[in-house]
A = this chain, B = another copy of it.
Amino acid sequence: MAIPEGEIRHGIRSARTTITDVARVAGVAKGTVSRALSGHPDIAERTRLRIRKIAARMGYVPLSQAQAIRTGRGRAIGLVIQAGDHDAYRPFLAEFLAGLSAAAASEGWTLSVTTADDIPATLDRFQALRQERKADGFVLTRAMIDDPRTDALIEAEVPFVLYGRPHGRRRAPAAWFDFAGETAMAEAVGRFAALGHRRIAYVGGGTIYTYSALRRAGYEAGLQMAGLPLDPALIQEGVLGRAAGRDAAAALLASDDPPTAFLYSTDMAALGLWRAARDRGLQVGRDLAVIGYDGIPEGAHAEPPLSTYGTDARLAGERLGDLLIRRIRGAPLESLRETAPATFVDRGSLCPPPNTSGS
């Protein structure tokens, strides 16, 4: 039984095809194979094509570990999850990871994840993963104002992309992906105004995150476009989580001239409105209008369900993964900045203000 020519691999258990195998079959030096596959200009076009074809036929994939020891890069993207962080984004995590790993896999990359409890621990994990060459760059979730993570990574010349946009005094040069929360907020105000609302409250999220200022600005822009005054008494900031969302709503409802519409910058906080409303004998979707932001699944199970601007966590993961890989490969920052729109999901928590008959 002669070995079939071409050495085509079959079966699951077979050992890897190495660069030496390819070189032998192609009748060239292994250095030539390496250069041909990585697109080195020194190799003639004819030769490159021939080697590429042979490598593909033999199912050759360079072992990233072996590459890493010479090049320092192992085709892996890193993600450090803030475990002690507020759990607002946890429902998205699976989707986000799915997008990220899909983007990675489509380029033959993989994903290393770790968790850390706080910022110093996060920086340690960056360092460790980078030192071990188990991540060539990082995805940073939830961009913060004057983000210490970006400072550290820029200092160490490690590539990264931001989920969210950089902001703050020392605004770091960064690649990023973000949903246009400010547009959503402005549009939401417009929706309320179109229904006849004139007292529209805004409940903002964690002020250390850069999304906060953006969404707040969108709210204010929306008021201006609708010709409504900006009333500081209708604004609450730094509201994270359901309990805080309830307290914020309770405080707003307790005023002399309470709002009839509530714009929350996070769904999780928005869900706190239900109880605050019930405590005053009011019902969301009949007496009060509310719009949230994020699109968390729990919102769909409230009574009535929460209307919101949904963000596609899987898309975010995909885009961020793609941007990071391109960044690591050397693409300039300016070409690596994207926003996507948040899409309105009307579930029934909107209504006209109480004492208005029709529009």
Query: Residues on A close to B: CB < 8 A?
Result: 12-13, 16, 61, 63-66, 68-69, 74, 76, 81, 83, 87, 90-91, 93-95, 97-98, 101-102, 104-105, 110-115, 125, 127-129, 131-134, 155-156, 242, 271, 297-298, 301
Closest 5 CB pairs of A and B: A65-B65, A98-B115, A83-B98, A65-B68, A101-B114
Question: Please, how many angstroms separate the alpha-carbon atoms of A301 and B64 in the complex?
Answer: 47
Is A301's CB under 8 angstroms from B242's CB? yes
Q: Known A97-B115, A129-B110; judge A65-B61 contact (CB<8 A).
A: no
- Interface SS of chain A: helix
What copy number does this chain have within its complex? Answer: 2
Given the contacts A98-B115, A101-B113, A64 and B132 also touching, CB distance less than 8 Å: yes
Give the chain B neighbours of A12 by CB distance below 8 A: 127, 156
- For A94, the closest partner residue in chain B by CB is B90
Cα separation A129 to B95 with both chains bound (whole Å): 20
Question: What distance in Å separates the Cβ of A160 from its nearest Cβ neighbour in chain B?
Answer: 16
Chain B: CB-nearest residue to A99? B115
Let me know if A111 and B110 touch, CB within 8 A. Answer: no
Q: Which of B63, B87, B131 contacts A69 (CB 8 A)?
A: B63
Q: How many Å lie between the Cα of A128 and that of B16 in the bound state? A: 11
Q: How far is A98 from B84 in the complex, measured between Cα atoms in Å? A: 10
Asked if A76 and B271 sit within 8 Å, CB to CB, the answer is no
Rounded to whole Å, the gap between the CB of A294 and the closest CB of chain B is 15
How far apart are A154's CB and chain B's nearest CB, in angstroms? 12
User: A101: which B residues are within 8 A, CB to CB?
Assistant: 113-115
- The answer to whether B69 touches A97, judged by C-beta atoms less than 8 angstroms apart, is no
CB distance from A88 to the nearest CB of B (A): 11
Residues of B within 8 A of A93 (CB): 90, 93-94, 97
Q: For A61, list chain B residues within 8 Å (CB).
A: 131-132
- A-B CB contact pairs (8 Å), 27 listed: A13-B155, A16-B131, A61-B132, A64-B133, A64-B134, A65-B66, A65-B133, A69-B69, A81-B94, A81-B97, A83-B94, A83-B97, A91-B91, A93-B97, A94-B115, A98-B115, A101-B113, A104-B114, A105-B128, A110-B112, A110-B114, A110-B129, A111-B113, A111-B114, A112-B112, A113-B113, A298-B298
**How many angstroms between the C-alpha atoms of A102 and B115 in the bound complex?**
7
Assembly CA distance A83 to B97 (angstroms) = 9
Closest to A62 in B: B132
Additional A-B contacts beyond A91-B91, A111-B113 (12; CB < 8 A): A12-B127, A13-B156, A64-B65, A65-B66, A81-B98, A90-B93, A104-B114, A110-B112, A110-B129, A110-B134, A111-B112, A271-B301
B-chain residues with CB within 8 Å of residue A134 when the two chains form the complex: 64, 76, 110
Q: How far is the CA of A129 from the CA of B75 in the complex (A)?
A: 12
A76 to B134, CA, bound (A): 9
Give every chain B residue within 8 A of A155 (Cβ-Cβ): 13
Instruction: Tell me, rounded to whole Å, the shortest Cβ–Cβ distance linking A340 to chain B.
Output: 20
Expressed in whole angstroms, the minimum distance between the Cβ of A191 and any Cβ of chain B is 26
Q: Report which residue of A13, A93, A271 has the largest number of chain B beta carbons within 10 angstroms of its beta carbon.
A: A93
A359 CB, nearest partner CB in chain B, Å? 32
In the docked arrangement, what's the CA distance between A115 and B65, Å? 22
A313 to chain B, nearest CB (A): 11
User: What is the bound-complex CA distance between A127 and B105, given in angstroms?
Assistant: 13
